[in-house]
Amino acid sequence: MGRFIFRRLVRTFLAIWALASAVFLLSRHDLDTALRLALPDAASQTGTSPALLPQSQQAALQALRQRFGLDLPVFYVSYGPVSPAGAPAWRWNGRRNQYHQWLWDLARGNLGTSFRTGQGVAGRLRHALAFTLPLTGTAAVLAVLGALALAQRLATTPWWQRPLRVVLVAVHGLPLFVVALILLLVFANPDVLDWLPAYGFGQSSDLDLDAGQHLADILLHLILPVSALVLTAMPELTLQLTAAIQQELGSAYATTARAKGLSEAAVVRRHALRNALLPTLAQIAEFLPALVAGAVVVEAVFALPGMGRLLAEASAARDYPVLIGGVLLTGAVRLLALLLADLCYFWVDPRIRWQS
């Protein structure tokens, strides 16, 4: 088992490093435009060549490039003129380049500095995750537990199976933003049901509330966003797991269990569920990163100050350090989810343990 986990960890680490390097290198071509947005009168100078900027703007742009280390070569090797009058040639830049400095900072937990605000990217991501993690974490747990409970009931073919399947398929076909808007218009609308707040999550931290009231306010603001994520994620998990359980119920070991006197629910719970979970584990590995992507939509609809809002603002302002940190974090979540699925396969299926 130790070798199995070690191999998966090494593969995951290499994949995260390759993803981070690709995102970093691809973002280097448009940095002058991004830095110019932070200058005075940025809107009027965005499409102007750097050589045509006023002298003060050129000096400010050069100061920003030096401050963020963008005056260095991008990579260990580069192609260009060795001297102003020389012919282009390949040149070795050594460790004095942007990529090496970025990797060294990344190894120390430093994700850089925001072009737009001058704040550390790691601090901004931590602040955003303080809102996004409760949202996505709660939605993931509720969606998985709800799918497990509902699929086991549906697999025994109760009378309400067919109408519920129709509802699940209909909800699964709706985009996330449509589900979020429906919940918003129904449960946070003074003209319909004004039960829940539509926005303002996190704003009560400045008010004179005790810990219990503050927690209740947070939970109240999370109900609609979490419900939107759960309603769009749970149908697919439920339908897939139900089909897998029903297939297992037709196998020989399930027939033997019934012959021994076990009820259909007991056969599902004690025998069929574990085997049916194998294809579902891969689906859960895809489901976790999808929740992170869905949080972008939900945070925009419900005005939540989380990762989605942060990355949307960074994209509009071309704040590449924040974008690189967000993409790196999202990609790491995806790869770690796949690693978690591999480990769950290892635990659930004894054949994998035997082969490894």
Q: What is the tens place of the pLDDT at every residue in 247-297?
A: 888 888 888 888 888 888 888 888 888 888 877 777 777 777 778 778 888
Q: At what angle do helices 320-348 and 307-316 cross, to 10 degrees?
A: 140
Place of tokens 């299926």: 349
Highest mean pLDDT (candidates 76-80, 190-194, 233-237):
233-237
Place of tokens 């809102």: 131
The C-alpha atoms of residue 110 and residue 293 are separated, in whole angstroms, by 24
Which pLDDT does position 42 carry in this prediction? 46
Determine the 3-state secondary structure of 113 from DSSP. Answer: strand
212 φ/ψ angles, rounded to the nearest 5 degrees = -65, -45
Residue 80, CA distances (Å) to 90, 92, 94, 108, 143 in order = 7, 11, 15, 32, 54
Tokens standing for 132? Answer: 């996004």
State which H helix or E strand residue 123 sits in.
Answer: helix 121-155
Q: By the 8 A CB rule, do 267 and 183 touch?
A: no
**Tens digit of pLDDT for each residue in 119-136?**
888 888 888 888 888 888
- Residue 331 CA to chain centroid, in angstroms? 7
Of the candidates 5, 71, 61, the residue with the CA atom closest to the CA atom of residue 35: 61
Residue 57 has pLDDT above 70, yes or no: no
Q: Which of 172-176, 232-236, 340-344 has the lowest mean pLDDT?
A: 340-344
Residue 50 has pLDDT above 80, yes or no: no
Residue 76 banded pLDDT, cuts 50, 70, 90: confident
Of the candidates 125, 109, 129, 108, the residue with the CA atom closest to the CA atom of residue 117: 125
Place of tokens 């100078």: 45
Residue 44 has pLDDT above 50, yes or no: no
Secondary structure in 3-state letters for 190-202:
CCCCECCCCCCCC
Global pTM reads 0.74
Which pLDDT does position 344 carry in this prediction? 74
Q: Would you call 250 exposed, middle or buried from its count of C-beta atoms within 10 A (0-12, 13-18, 19+)?
A: exposed
114 φ/ψ angles, rounded to the nearest 5 degrees = -65, 130
Q: What is the DSSP letter of 272?
A: I
Q: What is the DSSP letter of 87?
A: P
Q: Which of 88-102, 198-212, 322-336 has the lowest mean pLDDT?
A: 198-212
Residue 235's identity, in one-letter code, is: P
Calculate mean pLDDT across residues 110-121: 83
Residue 81's identity, in one-letter code, is: P
Calculate mean pLDDT across residues 339-347: 75
Determine the 3-state secondary structure of 327 from DSSP. Answer: helix
Highest mean pLDDT (candidates 72-86, 183-197, 336-350):
183-197
